[in-house]
Amino acid sequence: MAVKVKICGVTESANALAAVEMGADYLGLNFYPGSPRFLTIERAREVAEAVRGRVPLVGVFVNASPDEIAGTIEEVGLDLVQLSGDEGPEAMMPFAARAIKVFRAGHLPGYEELAAWSAVWGILIDAPHRGLYGGTGETWDYEAVIGLAGRRVFLAGGIGPDNARRAVAAARPWAIDVCSRVESAPGIKDPELLRRLFQEVRDGETPTSA
């Protein structure tokens, strides 16, 4: 089965449409106020409506309350929620069937920790960072996630047009999560970089370096 692609941190309707038309399987909308890709509810609705029904929409949250998450799901019409902070499994159980829980390299989950999150829809492994909750653009040792086989694993952190195939070959994930490496500015996806990414992933062709 071909690896799936999530384009995260989308902030514009035109970018959302371009990503979907090129082959994105999921789009991520960021609701963490500390992110340069943060969306208000109103702006998120605009982006969501541009692609409604064409791909699942993933809301990205960092240490948000269950009430805030539930309200955003309802107001925007989200299909999945990505828990990118320090959330515990108990508080997030109402969303488990649609949740992607984020872990970071350097603290990969062991058996007991994974078991505590066994009900979630998927897990995402991102680059380690002391102060940021994603979108760092930093690469890492992707093959470390091979031991998580059997779970729906999203691979993130520094993946772009120049290394997507290598990352997939190293880790064999269910999906890759791409953000800053296809941007011209935070939250602004570059159409040419998106095109090169999907060429790399879907066609198996190594694009020419920019």
Q: Which of 8, 162, 177, 179 is catalytic?
A: 8
How buried is 111 (Cβ within 10 angstroms: 0-12 exposed, 13-18 middle, 19+ buried)? exposed
| 179 tagged catalytic | no
The pair phi, psi for residue 122, each rounded to 5°, is -160, 170
Q: Whole-angstrom Cα distance, residue 115 to residue 159?
A: 28
Residue 177, strand partner residues: 6, 156
Q: Which of 44, 118, 117 is nearest to 86 (CA)?
A: 117
Q: Which of 25, 126, 179, 190 is catalytic?
A: 126
Q: Which of 45, 50, 55 is nearest to 79 (CA)?
A: 55
Catalytic positions? 8, 126
